[in-house]
Amino acid sequence: MRTTAKGLSMGLAAALAVAVPGAAAAKGAKAEAVLESKSGSSATGKVTFAQHDGKVVMKVSVRGLTPGSHAIHIHEKGDCSAADASSAGGHWNPTSAAHGAWAHPPFHHGDIGNLVASESGKAKLTLETDLWTLGDGKPTDVVGHAVVVHANVDDFITQPTGNAGGRVACGVVQADR
Protein backbone atom coordinates (compact mmCIF):
# COMPACT_ATOMS: atom_id res chain seq x y z
CA MET A 1 0.00 0.00 0.00
CA ARG A 2 2.81 2.40 0.78
CA THR A 3 4.21 2.19 -2.73
CA THR A 4 0.76 2.70 -4.22
CA ALA A 5 0.12 5.76 -2.07
CA LYS A 6 3.41 7.29 -3.11
CA GLY A 7 2.40 7.12 -6.74
CA LEU A 8 -0.88 8.95 -6.29
CA SER A 9 -1.12 12.55 -7.36
CA MET A 10 -1.39 15.00 -4.50
CA GLY A 11 -4.92 15.95 -5.51
CA LEU A 12 -6.14 12.40 -5.54
CA ALA A 13 -4.37 11.60 -2.28
CA ALA A 14 -6.00 14.60 -0.63
CA ALA A 15 -9.42 13.59 -1.93
CA LEU A 16 -9.00 10.06 -0.65
CA ALA A 17 -7.82 11.38 2.70
CA VAL A 18 -11.13 13.18 3.07
CA ALA A 19 -13.17 10.16 2.01
CA VAL A 20 -11.26 7.66 4.12
CA PRO A 21 -9.60 9.39 7.09
CA GLY A 22 -6.52 7.59 8.31
CA ALA A 23 -6.35 5.30 5.30
CA ALA A 24 -3.01 4.49 3.70
CA ALA A 25 -3.94 6.63 0.71
CA ALA A 26 -3.43 9.73 2.87
CA LYS A 27 0.29 8.92 3.05
CA GLY A 28 1.05 11.00 -0.03
CA ALA A 29 -0.09 14.18 1.67
CA LYS A 30 2.04 13.94 4.78
CA ALA A 31 5.46 15.24 5.73
CA GLU A 32 7.67 15.36 8.78
CA ALA A 33 10.65 17.22 10.19
CA VAL A 34 12.80 15.68 12.92
CA LEU A 35 14.30 18.50 14.96
CA GLU A 36 17.90 18.04 16.05
CA SER A 37 19.75 20.06 18.67
CA LYS A 38 21.77 23.04 17.42
CA SER A 39 24.04 25.71 18.89
CA GLY A 40 24.87 23.50 21.89
CA SER A 41 21.24 23.18 23.00
CA SER A 42 19.50 20.02 24.16
CA ALA A 43 16.30 20.79 22.27
CA THR A 44 14.87 18.00 20.11
CA GLY A 45 11.48 17.37 18.63
CA LYS A 46 9.22 16.44 15.79
CA VAL A 47 6.96 18.38 13.44
CA THR A 48 4.31 16.61 11.38
CA PHE A 49 2.35 17.99 8.45
CA ALA A 50 -0.82 16.50 6.98
CA GLN A 51 -2.81 17.93 4.09
CA HIS A 52 -6.51 17.37 3.56
CA ASP A 53 -9.46 19.46 2.40
CA GLY A 54 -7.11 22.07 0.96
CA LYS A 55 -5.51 22.72 4.32
CA VAL A 56 -2.29 21.66 6.00
CA VAL A 57 -2.27 20.81 9.69
CA MET A 58 1.09 21.15 11.42
CA LYS A 59 1.75 19.61 14.84
CA VAL A 60 4.91 20.59 16.71
CA SER A 61 6.33 18.79 19.74
CA VAL A 62 9.63 19.93 21.25
CA ARG A 63 11.46 19.03 24.46
CA GLY A 64 14.71 20.15 26.05
CA LEU A 65 13.99 23.88 25.69
CA THR A 66 14.63 26.51 28.31
CA PRO A 67 11.29 27.49 29.88
CA GLY A 68 9.49 30.38 28.19
CA SER A 69 8.90 31.61 24.65
CA HIS A 70 10.88 30.52 21.61
CA ALA A 71 10.37 31.65 18.05
CA ILE A 72 9.60 28.93 15.54
CA HIS A 73 9.82 29.51 11.80
CA ILE A 74 10.10 27.68 8.55
CA HIS A 75 13.36 28.72 6.95
CA GLU A 76 14.13 28.79 3.24
CA LYS A 77 16.81 26.13 2.86
CA GLY A 78 16.35 22.49 3.78
CA ASP A 79 19.86 22.31 5.20
CA CYS A 80 20.44 21.89 8.94
CA SER A 81 24.07 20.81 8.58
CA ALA A 82 25.71 23.83 10.24
CA ALA A 83 26.31 23.60 14.00
CA ASP A 84 24.34 26.83 14.43
CA ALA A 85 21.82 25.94 11.71
CA SER A 86 22.81 29.05 9.75
CA SER A 87 22.78 26.76 6.69
CA ALA A 88 18.96 26.92 6.76
CA GLY A 89 19.14 30.52 5.54
CA GLY A 90 16.52 33.16 6.27
CA HIS A 91 12.79 32.75 6.71
CA TRP A 92 10.84 30.96 3.97
CA ASN A 93 9.18 33.90 2.25
CA PRO A 94 7.78 33.03 -1.20
CA THR A 95 5.60 36.14 -1.32
CA SER A 96 8.46 38.55 -0.49
CA ALA A 97 6.46 39.93 2.42
CA ALA A 98 7.77 41.73 5.49
CA HIS A 99 8.33 39.71 8.68
CA GLY A 100 5.40 39.74 11.08
CA ALA A 101 2.92 37.78 13.17
CA TRP A 102 1.04 34.82 11.71
CA ALA A 103 -2.39 35.76 10.31
CA HIS A 104 -1.68 39.47 10.69
CA PRO A 105 -0.38 40.57 7.25
CA PRO A 106 2.22 41.23 6.26
CA PHE A 107 4.03 38.10 7.38
CA HIS A 108 6.30 35.44 5.88
CA HIS A 109 4.88 32.03 4.95
CA GLY A 110 7.38 30.71 7.49
CA ASP A 111 6.39 33.04 10.33
CA ILE A 112 4.77 30.43 12.55
CA GLY A 113 5.27 32.47 15.73
CA ASN A 114 6.32 31.41 19.20
CA LEU A 115 6.36 28.18 21.16
CA VAL A 116 5.89 28.42 24.92
CA ALA A 117 7.97 25.87 26.78
CA SER A 118 6.86 24.64 30.18
CA GLU A 119 9.07 24.53 33.27
CA SER A 120 10.07 21.05 32.12
CA GLY A 121 11.13 22.43 28.74
CA LYS A 122 8.32 20.93 26.67
CA ALA A 123 6.26 22.78 24.09
CA LYS A 124 3.47 21.86 21.71
CA LEU A 125 1.79 23.81 18.94
CA THR A 126 -0.85 23.01 16.33
CA LEU A 127 -1.50 25.18 13.29
CA GLU A 128 -3.96 24.71 10.43
CA THR A 129 -3.61 26.80 7.30
CA ASP A 130 -4.63 27.02 3.65
CA LEU A 131 -1.48 29.01 2.84
CA TRP A 132 0.69 25.90 2.62
CA THR A 133 0.72 22.79 0.44
CA LEU A 134 2.61 19.51 0.69
CA GLY A 135 4.74 17.92 -1.98
CA ASP A 136 3.31 19.67 -5.04
CA GLY A 137 6.45 21.66 -5.85
CA LYS A 138 4.58 24.96 -5.83
CA PRO A 139 5.91 28.09 -4.09
CA THR A 140 3.55 27.20 -1.22
CA ASP A 141 5.09 23.72 -0.75
CA VAL A 142 6.52 23.29 2.76
CA VAL A 143 8.53 20.20 1.78
CA GLY A 144 12.24 20.87 1.33
CA HIS A 145 12.38 23.79 3.73
CA ALA A 146 13.53 23.63 7.37
CA VAL A 147 11.74 24.14 10.68
CA VAL A 148 13.91 26.20 13.04
CA VAL A 149 13.37 26.84 16.77
CA HIS A 150 15.16 29.84 18.25
CA ALA A 151 16.71 30.73 21.61
CA ASN A 152 14.55 33.81 22.07
CA VAL A 153 11.06 35.13 21.47
CA ASP A 154 9.95 36.52 18.11
CA ASP A 155 8.99 40.18 18.60
CA PHE A 156 7.10 40.15 15.23
CA ILE A 157 8.58 43.59 14.49
CA THR A 158 12.33 43.41 13.92
CA GLN A 159 13.10 42.90 10.20
CA PRO A 160 13.56 40.34 8.84
CA THR A 161 14.21 38.00 11.78
CA GLY A 162 11.96 39.00 14.69
CA ASN A 163 15.17 39.34 16.75
CA ALA A 164 14.76 35.70 17.78
CA GLY A 165 18.43 35.00 18.50
CA GLY A 166 20.31 31.78 17.92
CA ARG A 167 18.94 28.61 16.40
CA VAL A 168 18.54 25.84 19.00
CA ALA A 169 16.85 23.18 16.88
CA CYS A 170 16.49 22.47 13.17
CA GLY A 171 14.84 19.84 10.98
CA VAL A 172 14.31 19.49 7.25
CA VAL A 173 10.72 18.93 6.13
CA GLN A 174 10.60 15.67 4.19
CA ALA A 175 7.63 14.04 2.50
CA ASP A 176 6.58 10.74 4.07
CA ARG A 177 7.22 7.76 1.89
| Interface residues toward Cu ion, by CB under 5 A | 73, 148
Q: Smallest distance from the beta carbon of 96 to Cu ion, in angstroms? A: 17
Indicate the residue among 27 and 108 with the shorter CB distance to Cu ion.
108
Indicate the residue among 15 and 131 with the shorter CB distance to Cu ion.
131
Q: Smallest distance from the beta carbon of 133 to Cu ion, in angstroms? A: 21
DSSP code string of the chain: -HHHHHHS-HHHHHHHHHHSTT-GGGGGGEEEEEEEE-TT---EEEEEEEEETTEEEEEEEEESPPSEEEEEEEESS----STTSGGG-SB--TT-PPP-BTTBSS--TT--EEEEE-TTS-EEEEEEESS-BSSS-STTB-TTSEEEEESS---S-STTTTT--SEEEEEE-EE--
Indicate the residue among 148 and 175 with the shorter CB distance to Cu ion.
148
